[in-house]
Homo-oligomer: A and B are copies of this chain.
Amino acid sequence: MNLKESLLNIIADRDRQQLSIILEDSYPIDIAAALSEFEDDELTQFTALLTAKEIASIIEESDEELQQKLLGLLDSSKIVTAFSYMSSDDIADILGILDISQRKELLKRMRISDSKDIQMLLGYGPETAGGIMTTQYIALKNTLNMKDALQEIRRIGPRTEIIETIFVVDQHTELVGKADLRDILIASEDTKLEEIMDENVLSVHPETDQEEVSLIVSKYDLKVLPVVNRKNAILGIITIDDVIDVIVEEHTEDLLMLSGVSKDEKVGNSISMSVQRRLPWLFINLMTAFLASFTVSLFEDVIVQVVALAAAMPIVAGMGGNAGSQTLSVVIRSIALGEISIKKDWKFVINEVALGLINGLATGFITGLILFIKYDNIYLGIIILVAMIGNLIIAGFFGFLIPLILSKMNLDPAISSSIFLTTTTDVGGFFIFLGLAKLFLPLLL
């Protein structure tokens, strides 16, 4: 019997005892997955059996669709009680997907101090440090001694996301350091926090982009990063598990956008939604394709005379595209990891051009040789060799510079780089190859 069936049996029998056993043995995310296949009335009956704390743990692990469903079915007082077991960033995320009237209703019913925190979080963009931070952290005064500090940690700890790192503030609530719980546990009782704290604390502002946050956290191997305002007062913390979500999200975006797919695309999306998301990109590509086609049509007179050109030209354009996307993905990756910038690294374009020359020579030589043998014309072979060298150089040059320039203009290089690049290598490839053929037409006849 799978989890869904077990839960349905529990609803039928209203068997709270069996439910407790299952909740103990399963992970909330697996329960949530099973619930997402439930009908509304089954959900209502099921949640009626749960405590607010159990509901909280399931809501936290549900996807947006199930969250919306659950919050529509539960009454406000039960939701607010469940919220008291959840971290503020999760609550803010959930409120963010509700309609305004329900959101206001819930905020009104929450404890004032909590609702103030949540409203602050709701004010930040979802992809900023403020949007992903939580307000459940421990910040203690620098003059506190170990005994009192430990007392506070015992008191606040159960409601915080992290207890290994304690933030230290001065009398103006300014962030002045961080202390490791290990040191607090072993220091003598009357040691003060400021004696054992580490004054080196990296922090970010709430409007910092989440991608920058993830770069800082992974570069400095941090488990937690505080978010401070202009006066250096601590507003919240970002924990490493939230950063993992950001990294996965940003990488997905990069990978999908390189192929012109929206980051929300998933296998199993409705067809009409997928059409809406993918068709615009195909239309943009169609314009590119017409540009390439137009380039070819300029040389129709040549093709009629040497029809071998029609068969050979896709090779030149295609290889340029392949070489270009090799360069492109290396550069986009380096940009995402914060490793390069156009100012510092533009000179590496020479490497890519040299690579294009060498790879063009190697692949062009083979192609030329095969065409020479097939059509028994050495000049056709030479022309395609030169065209491939030229197009792979173009590919290296633009594959390197396009994403860097886009990123410098604060545009996401993953979105539009490939479209510019394909245009360049297609049009460039056809133009060089067919242009050379036209120039040396007598030799080809």
Q: Is the CB of A158 within 8 A of B186?
A: yes
Q: Is the CB of A286 within 8 A of B315?
A: yes
Find chain B residues with CB under 8 A from A332 CB: 255
Give A345's nearest chain B residue, CB to CB.
B267
What DSSP secondary structure best describes chain A's contact surface? helix
Q: Is the CB of A330 within 8 A of B266?
A: yes
Q: Is the CB of B153 within 8 A of A185?
A: yes
Q: Say if the beta carbon of A348 comes within 8 Å of chain B.
A: yes
Find chain B residues with CB under 8 A from A331 CB: 267
Q: Is the CB of A286 within 8 A of B367?
A: yes
Q: Is the CB of A220 within 8 A of B29?
A: yes
Q: Say if the beta carbon of A119 comes within 8 Å of chain B.
A: no
Q: Is the CB of A314 within 8 A of B426?
A: yes
Q: Is the CB of A307 within 8 A of B318?
A: no
Find chain B residues with CB under 8 A from A351 CB: 268-269, 271, 274
- Of residues 350 to 393 in A, which have CB atoms within 8 Å of B's CB atoms? 351, 354-355, 358-359, 362-363, 366-367, 370
Q: Say if the beta carbon of A118 comes within 8 Å of chain B.
A: no
Q: Is the CB of B255 within 8 A of A333?
A: yes
Q: Is the CB of B312 within 8 A of A293?
A: yes
Q: Say if the beta carbon of A278 comes within 8 Å of chain B.
A: yes
Give A244's nearest chain B residue, CB to CB.
B218
Q: How many copies of the chain does the oligomer comprise?
A: 2
Q: Say if the beta carbon of A126 comes within 8 Å of chain B.
A: no
Give A366's nearest chain B residue, CB to CB.
B286
Kindly provide the distance from the CB of A317 to the nearest chain B CB, expressed in whole angstroms: 7
Q: Say if the beta carbon of A77 comes within 8 Å of chain B.
A: no
Q: Which of B247, B259, B310, B323 is within 8 Å of A310, CB to CB?
A: B310
Q: Which of B292, B300, B308, B313 is within 8 Å of A300, CB to CB?
A: B308
Find chain B residues with CB under 8 A from A134 CB: none
Kindly provide the distance from the CB of A415 to the nearest chain B CB, expressed in whole angstroms: 13
Known: A248-B218, A259-B325. A186 touches B154 (CB 8 A): yes
Give A241's nearest chain B residue, CB to CB.
B221
Question: What CA separation (Å) do A367 and B290 show in the bound complex?
Answer: 9
Q: Say if the beta carbon of A334 comes within 8 Å of chain B.
A: yes
- Of residues 7 to 30 in A, which have CB atoms within 8 Å of B's CB atoms? 24-25, 27, 29
A255, A283, A337, A354: most-surrounded residue (chain B CB, <10 A):
A255
Find chain B residues with CB under 8 A from A426 CB: 314, 318
Kindly provide the distance from the CB of A29 to the nearest chain B CB, expressed in whole angstroms: 6
Q: Is the CB of B256 within 8 A of A330?
A: yes
Q: Say if the beta carbon of A188 comes within 8 Å of chain B.
A: no
Q: A269-B351, A310-B310 are in contact. List 4 more A-B contacts (CB 8 A).
A: A27-B202, A275-B355, A275-B359, A314-B430
